[in-house]
């Protein structure tokens, strides 16, 4: 099988890159006043404006040729149909089924998973309503005021990020908390503010083996038992897992165990029962709207022509910079405080999916995959890493996310207009930059002597020509949030399809999990110390010298 880089479509792009790499977006805009209309796509409340990119129609045509040569359409169909596209784990990848509201059955291993999904959704609805109506009681008969989600990775980020984003939709009187890292500090902080009698604990873990989650869950369970007795576990602990037996062994009531399925990847699981904390936080109607927003994008991704297909264009642009300009980073700049955690979510979604070095057939890859996703909420990022975006030597494409209407800004445009203008001015600066002549003219107008103006102007040159996509979203509501996340999910899928990698396993993460038990044992002077490398051993000894040897 040929490498991607052997394809004629790849060579055509390489040639195109060579002949266009020095053209500036200023010129592209001067030549075509219509770029904004031509290179933007609107779906419902989301405008995706990608006119500030180093592309012409011809570039897009060549990139689409590459997508076609990589069998994108067949791969897309295979995913939606439930084929086992996660080939190393022999699993289907069906987060899209979780938001598919049609009645059409979808068979996986002889089972209609749509029926399973409906049944689970009904159970979620019942639990959420009984908590909201004060019918669900803790062991001492009191209604629930606090939810604590104990989970990490995809079993944490989805609900946390979305619950924070949708704070304006929060059910009154219910607070949500999240424990993810195994560091005891946040756990102790949390225990200091919750009332054991009125708190519902959710253990979110597909595998029910994740050490951070189980360590936290055990400590919390011991705390609850000490406060309220052992029967409290059955009453106030919920589990979301694919390992029902393990949850039962933990002591969780069968009726409070919600299923996860092997055909849902952790980082794609917010649409499953893992989204329970979100459903509790915003209510089932809003949670359904969140799913509907994602479903709208699934339809768009399935049916829109590739050139009008937002996730496809997002992926192709990323591949253009990544594989031809060797851009390795991608900045995410949400100009909305409520979306500040989206960056962490996209880090897992993108890098855990596409940080791969072999093709589906196991051969090593000779091109870059994945992207270093980073960022900060606007405007904070402007006063931190944006300097590098503007004047650093690296090319780093940026996604600016703007929300036209925020609930809290409805009656006050003073702040919001500044916020939106900040995002727009960054996009303009990234695109236009500042020439030497412009910098010098500015300094002369400020009465600088010529020689000094010439010297300073060199430092003030900003090359511009830096790619920037803008997502202009009408308002931050559940539907639009679901849609935005699904756009990124499908972007990641398209990139993985073109790169010919398995975006749905994460063996790199597994290695650390595998090594940890022996290191932990060695710290306690047990286990197989001889198998540890001298560097690790050196630090274990150092740690033991500081804290003493623990049994």
Q: Strand runs (DSSP E) across 16-134, as ranges?
A: 40-43, 46-52, 107-108, 111-112
Contact residue for ligand F6P among 509, 519, 521, 523 (CB under 6 A): 509
Q: Which of these, 208, 152, 158, lies nearest to 349 by C-alpha position? A: 158
Contact residue for ligand F6P among 40, 83, 207, 391 (CB under 6 A): 207
Q: Does 152 help bind ligand F6P (rule: CB under 6 A)?
A: yes
* Cα 247 to Cα 155: distance, rounded to the nearest angstrom: 15
Token code pair at residue 388: 């590098």
Beta carbon nearer to ligand F6P, 154 or 283: 154
Contact residue for ligand F6P among 35, 114, 246, 267 (CB under 6 A): 267
Active site residue 167: no
Token code pair at residue 481: 């949030």
Q: Say which residues have a Cβ less than 8 Å from residue 366's Cβ, sequence separation at least 6.
A: 3, 5
Beta carbon nearer to ligand F6P, 158 or 423: 158
CB of 487 to ligand F6P, least distance (A): 20
Contact residue for ligand F6P among 59, 70, 120, 155 (CB under 6 A): 155
Q: Does 540 help bind ligand F6P (rule: CB under 6 A)?
A: no
Give the phi and the psi of residue 179 in degrees, each rounded to 5. Answer: -115, 120
Q: Does 213 help bind ligand F6P (rule: CB under 6 A)?
A: yes
Q: Which of these, 375, 393, 397, 372, lies nearest to 385 by C-alpha position? A: 375
Beta carbon nearer to ligand F6P, 214 or 457: 214
Catalytic residue selected from 513, 524, 526, 542 = 513
Contact residue for ligand F6P among 153, 283, 311, 467 (CB under 6 A): 153
Other C-beta atoms lying within 10 Å of the C-beta of residue 395:
18
Token code pair at residue 154: 């995809």
* Cα 287 to Cα 482: distance, rounded to the nearest angstrom: 9
Q: Do residues 516 and 336 lie in contact, with contact meaning Cβ atoms separated by under 8 Å?
A: no
Contact residue for ligand F6P among 296, 506, 522, 532 (CB under 6 A): 506
Q: Does 215 help bind ligand F6P (rule: CB under 6 A)?
A: no
Catalytic residue selected from 11, 142, 218, 383 = 383
Q: Does 205 help bind ligand F6P (rule: CB under 6 A)?
A: yes
DSSP string, 209-273: --HHHHHHHHHHHHHHHHHH-THHHHHHEEEEES-HHHHHHHT--GGGEEE--TTS-GGG-TTSG
Catalytic residue selected from 352, 390, 416, 466 = 352
Which one of the spans 35-43, 65-73, 148-156, 374-382 is the region binding ligand F6P (CB under 6 A)?
148-156
Which one of the spans 151-159, 283-291, 369-377, 495-503 is the region binding ligand F6P (CB under 6 A)?
151-159
Active site residue 386: no
Number of H helices, E strands in the chain: 23, 13
Q: Which residues are catalytic?
A: 352, 383, 513
Q: Residue numbers of the site for ligand F6P (CB under 6 A)? A: 152-155, 205-207, 210, 213, 266-267, 352, 506, 509
């Amino acid at each position: 099988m040929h490498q991607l880089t052997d394809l004629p479509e790849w060579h055509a792009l390489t040639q195109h890159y060579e002949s266009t790499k020095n053209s500036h977006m200023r010129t592209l805009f001067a030549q075509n006043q219509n770029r904004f209309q031509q290179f933007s796509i609107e779906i419902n409340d989301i405008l995706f404006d990608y006119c500030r990119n180093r592309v012409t129609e011809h570039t897009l045509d060549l990139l689409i040729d590459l997508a076609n040569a990589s069998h994108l359409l067949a791969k897309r169909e295979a995913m939606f149909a439930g084929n086992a596209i996660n080939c190393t784990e022999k699993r289907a990848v069906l987060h899209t089924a979780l938001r598919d509201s049609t009645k059409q059955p979808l068979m996986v291993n002889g089972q209609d998973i749509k029926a399973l999904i409906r049944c689970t959704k009904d159970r979620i609805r019942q639990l959420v309503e009984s908590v909201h109506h004060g019918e669900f009681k803790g062991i001492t008969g009191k209604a629930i005021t606090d939810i604590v989600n104990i989970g990490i990775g995809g079993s944490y980020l989805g609900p946390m990020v979305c619950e924070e984003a949708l704070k304006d939709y929060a059910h009154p009187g219910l607070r949500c908390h999240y424990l993810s890292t195994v560091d005891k500090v946040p756990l102790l902080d949390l225990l200091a503010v919750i009332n054991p009698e009125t708190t519902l604990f959710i253990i979110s873990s597909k595998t029910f083996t994740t050490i951070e989650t189980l360590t936290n869950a055990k400590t919390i369970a011991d705390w609850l038992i000490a406060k309220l007795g052992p029967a409290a576990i059955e009453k106030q602990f919920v589990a979301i897992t694919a390992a029902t037996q393990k949850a039962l062994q933990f002591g969780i009531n069968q009726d409070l165990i919600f299923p996860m399925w092997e055909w849902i990847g952790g980082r794609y699981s917010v649409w499953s029962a893992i989204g329970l904390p979100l459903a509790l936080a915003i209510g089932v109607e809003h949670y359904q709207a969140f799913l509907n927003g994602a479903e709208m994008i699934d339809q768009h991704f399935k049916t829109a022509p590739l050139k009008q297909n937002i996730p496809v264009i997002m992926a192709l642009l990323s591949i253009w910079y990544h594989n031809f300009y060797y851009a390795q980073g991608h900045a995410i700049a949400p100009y909305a405080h409520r979306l500040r955690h989206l960056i962490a979510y996209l880090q897992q979604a993108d890098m855990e999916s596409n940080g791969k070095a072999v093709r589906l057939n196991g051969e090593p890859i000779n091109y870059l995959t994945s992207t270093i996703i980073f960022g900060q909420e606007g405007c904070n990022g402007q006063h931190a890493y944006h300097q590098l975006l503007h004047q650093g030597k690296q090319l780093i494409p940026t996604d600016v996310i703007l929300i036209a209407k925020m609930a809290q800004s409805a009656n006050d445009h003073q702040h919001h207009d500044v916020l939106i203008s900040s995002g727009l001015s960054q996009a303009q600066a990234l695109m236009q930059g500042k020439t030497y002549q412009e910098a010098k003219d500015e300094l002369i107008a400020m009465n600088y002597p010529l020689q000094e103006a010439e010297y300073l102007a060199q430092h003030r040159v900003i090359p511009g020509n830096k790619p920037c996509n803008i997502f202009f979203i009408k308002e931050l509501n559940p539907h639009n949030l679901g849609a935005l996340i699904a756009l990124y999910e499908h972007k990641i899928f398209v990139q993985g399809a073109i790169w010919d990698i398995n975006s749905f396993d994460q063996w790199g993460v597994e290695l650390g999990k595998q090594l940890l038990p022996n290191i932990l044992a060695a710290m306690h002077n047990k286990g197989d110390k001889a198998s540890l490398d001298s560097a690790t051993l050196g630090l274990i000894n150092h740690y033991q010298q500081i804290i003493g040897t623990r049994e």
